[in-house]
Chains A and B, each alone.
Chain A
Amino acid sequence: MNKLNFLQPDKNNFYTYLYTGVILVALSIFIVFLNSFFNKDIVSFLPGPISFFLPLILGFIGLHLIRIDYSGLRFLDSINKNINTNNFNAFLSLLIVFVVIKSLPPLLSWFIIDANIAGDSKDVCTGSGACWTYIKIWFNRFMYGMYPNPEQWRINLSFIALAFLGCVGFFATEKFKKYLTLYYVVVYPIIAFFFIFFFISGGPIFFDFSYGIIAAVISIILGFFIPSKFKMYYFIIVPITLYILLKYVFFYEELIELGKLEALEWVETGAWGGLSLTFIVSFFCLIFCFPIGLFLSLGRRSDFPIIKYISIGMIEFWRGVPLITVLFMSSVMFPMFLPEDMFIDKLVRVIIAISLFEAAYVAEVIRGGLQALPRGQYDAAKSLGMGYWKMHILVILPQALKLVIPGIANTFLALVKDTPLIFVVGLLEIVGMLNLAKTNPEWLGFAMEGYVFASVLFFIICYAMSKYSYNLEQKYKTER
């Protein structure tokens, strides 16, 4: 038997070191575990400081003993390689494990064990944990804001329909793949706008929406019988004619007067709110800020002084003011400059304001990508006879945008998390609704639950976005 040297464990007496080490580490974790979960200190017979540091000391010695290079056990090797490379790292690893064990019981008890979810009033929340009843009761408000309950199916239906239309890309056949970009960049936002403007907003204007759909369906069906030579004109003229016929000749006045078909109830944008409003605002701001930012970034590099300085002015102005003042101006100052009888909805103003604000950031991110491209790419594109727009659309932007996906994702995430600021103009999306709910006299004192709930929702949204951007990055990665 070789001599044991505890200061320098080696492969001789391998199992002696291994078992001793594992027992010591297990013991140290066990002590902390008992202490944390059952509040029992089994080493309390030792003097104060020693009993306090004992787990750390035991674990440290244990980890030292099992630090044997090339032991042949895969699990042990991976531990040694990852968390136990030297004394200092072993110390840090132990500390982290202890902190996790220590913090688990209070978290568990607050979130689950002592929490309440049954019942439907504040009275059931007697435990020391979270009151999920609060979230349950207010859930509807957190999702839809002040939107009237019987009408909420409109929001659900719109979102489901838009989600479904958004998935079209996955099912598109090879033949239609080339139209996908056009669809997502132009058609889809327009459809989304119509859904939200006519359907969620409602009012008599809803009839326009239904006429539009009827006109579109009829013209598409008729379209199959039209020779392809005339299709171009056909799809411009017929839907519009049908629409006008439907609206002004056949139905409109009579239906309203006779009350045969009740219009969807009009819900003003002030009543919209909750998570659905977060989605609506984020969605449109994302869609608008990207092209505006793109043009600003190109404008900033333009050779024409007017375009160049207008772009620089726009970018520097919007980057230089805080979002909260921009929103405030959009709702308070902006209407003063409008003619008396002109009215632009609060929500629309807010969306425009945020879009312009974020566009300035997007512009600078894209400019970074444009500058990262070597000059040779411009030279090559020019030497093939491409003009400014062809060069940018075919050669420069595809490469530059690919480079700035992480930066754009960054800006978009910031945008989503900036939306709660619209409370300054009286629009209450999810965080706004939380603030409203926590001041309700019947439900005082549950701010914590609300904010945890909102954090989880925001985390899910933002994490999904960041995952998606990472996927995009991987998808478009090419070797340079």
Chain B
Amino acid sequence: MSGLRGRLLAPVLAVVFSALLCAVALLFSGDHPWTALRVMISQVGQGTTAVDIVNSAAVYYLSGLAVALGFQMKLFNIGVEGQFRLAACVAAIVGGLWVLPPVLHTVMIIVVALLVGAGWAGVAAVLKAYRGVSEVISTIMLNAISTGVIAYLIRPDTFGVLEGNNISTRPIASGGHFPGITLGTKGTLFGMVFVAIALGIGYWFMLGRTRFGFELKASGESPTAAAAGGVNARRMTVVALLLSGAVAGLIGLPGRDFAYTLNAPQGYGFTGIAIALLGRNNPVGIAAGSLLWAFLDKAALALDNIGVPREIAVIMQGVTVISVVIAYEIVRRYELTAQRRRVAAEANLAFAPAESPPPGPPPPGSPPPGSPSGPTGVAPSEAR
């Protein structure tokens, strides 16, 4: 299994499988799957839906990227949620208090968000690198703490202002707004979309072309080999989590309300985990995953309009993630056994005349490239 076909097989299988499963669920609830599917697809062309999907996909993309950065090193940053919320809140406060000339103002807000996100992740990074505290535990706890910190920060007697029933930070002056592109009746494309694309390209470049990306992947694949190759595991842990947190810091800045309010969006951080899984940490895969997710979000609304339970879209999101994980595992195992059989057959050929010196060249049709044999179970375990 090589190249594009191999890489696409698992996700396509998974999406088809989950669509079928949802069709069955629809039939049970007495709705017609075909109608539902038509509505889901046709909604894209209506009003601002297409642009809305891209806008919210951009946010999901940032979140997926933040999680994927950790995953590259086998670090599970569950704290993207807390990092992005705290970053959004602090950036909104700073942006509301200090008014700078237009472009500088926006830049300052972004820098604050990056720093706060990175700083909040940095707590987990330092605990992990110097005290061995599992980043899973510490980031979950930091999520809870961030909720408390935010609640304190936006109280009217600290940095908040009371607006009707809602508490909010001081609104950011228009000079600090992140610019977007207005597409007439189709809606407004947020500038964050371009930031997301740029970050995606940067992520791809970093992984494939930079020393840091190589060291990140090496540490994730084999910490022992990375150490022997001179990679400083502690430094990598800290830097990977800081970067993850910095990207997380950008999630909360898409710019609809130019303030942080009590009902500011939540949950993007957790969605990011699902999307990173969907996209297999691959920059293009994550993009596809975010678009799919945003599409299903919108589809839920459209389905609601024709009386189909909107939960069907949520079910489909969940089922897709699980199917993708299972499909990749099945494909991986299948390839592993296939490869084992090939190597064993080859080895036996080479071993038959083993008593006589050098074995001949390996038989033709040696293992094909590109089979992603995981490290698990492949390595011949031997006593040490």
Does A pair with B? Answer: no
Q: Which residues of A contact B (CB under 8 A)?
A: none
Q: Which residues of B contact A (CB under 8 A)?
A: none
